[in-house]
Chains A and B, each alone.
Chain A
């Protein structure tokens, strides 16, 4: 098997030593391991994030296979078990903390509290809102340096073009990816590449935040904070 040192050396060639060190030291909580979360997790594992907290209550279903990073042989297996299996084949030195549990208002802070970045990757709109409110309400009680970054997603269903998937900085610690409007409940379906495009937006935002860059190169006018130096852009 490839050694840890070989893998890190290869990452440094592509991403730079300083960034790799920051990524290795980071913990990201991925909430929901479906079309968004399974793709986000694989991107972050490949990018060298040190630890992933993976949370999902559900099992792999045959209807998931068209867009989620599971195998036909894993149908019926808990996603919190199946995804770590797949991640270990890709990134054997990644630390994984997996929870087979439904995230609720009662347990959310206990589950994601230690992460540097929380990634919302649910499919249900009410669950998305619950997580975002819980993390932001908790942030409001913390000093700025202890507040968590939050990257969420909304609007990636259907056959619309991939260019309409965007990343928006809502406030200092809160980023939203997606087109904001394409609701799976409108009967427009879910198509793998578009969901993956949104997952890639989330993962890239997470990587940039961990590396100390702004999630977006341009800070929106309504946020009163000068842009930090964006390295590697």
Chain B
């Protein structure tokens, strides 16, 4: 199981193990300029989305920002 924001993203049978963070994000509506991604509590640097591999048991937090302040 791989979780994003507490939800199992493999529940529908899609396998994300050995896929990269960038590959996962490309399946979502997230705007990469407006997010921060943490994997197992550590920030994933923006420059490393395309080389950071997901593995069984990983937990991602994708924080997405909206405008206003």
Contact = CB atoms under 8 A, between A and B. Distances in A.
Given A126-B34, A129-B35, A133-B46, A155 B41 contact: no
Interface string B29-69: 00001111010011101100000000000010101111111
Nearest to B41: A171
Contacts of A183: 66-68
Contacts of B59: 222
A222 B63 contact: no
Nearest to B43: A136
Most buried by A among B42, B63, B64: B63
B36 A184 contact: no
A174 B43 CA distance: 10
B69 A34 contact: yes
A66 to B, nearest CB: 13
A35 B42 contact: no
Contact of A155 (B42, B46, B66): B66
A164 to B, nearest CB: 13
Interface residues of A, number: 41
Interface in A117-133: 121-126, 128-129, 132-133
B66 A32 contact: no
A206 B43 CA distance: 21
A182 B33 CA distance: 18
Contacts, number: 93
B63 A121 contact: no
A137 B48 CA distance: 11
Given A133-B43, A137-B45, A35 B63 contact: no
B6 interface: yes
Contact of B68 (A126, A156, A223, A224): A156
B2 to A, nearest CB: 14
Interface string A177-191: 000111111000010
A124 B66 CA distance: 8
Given A136-B43, A170-B61, A223-B41, A157 B67 contact: yes
Interface of A: 32, 34-37, 121-126, 128-129, 132-133, 136-137, 139-140, 152-157, 170-172, 174, 176, 180-185, 190, 195, 222-224
Interface of B: 6, 33-36, 38, 41-43, 45-46, 59, 61, 63-69
23 contacts: A32-B69, A36-B69, A125-B66, A128-B69, A129-B36, A136-B38, A136-B43, A140-B43, A154-B63, A154-B64, A155-B68, A156-B68, A157-B66, A170-B61, A171-B41, A176-B63, A180-B64, A182-B66, A183-B68, A185-B68, A195-B68, A222-B6, A222-B61
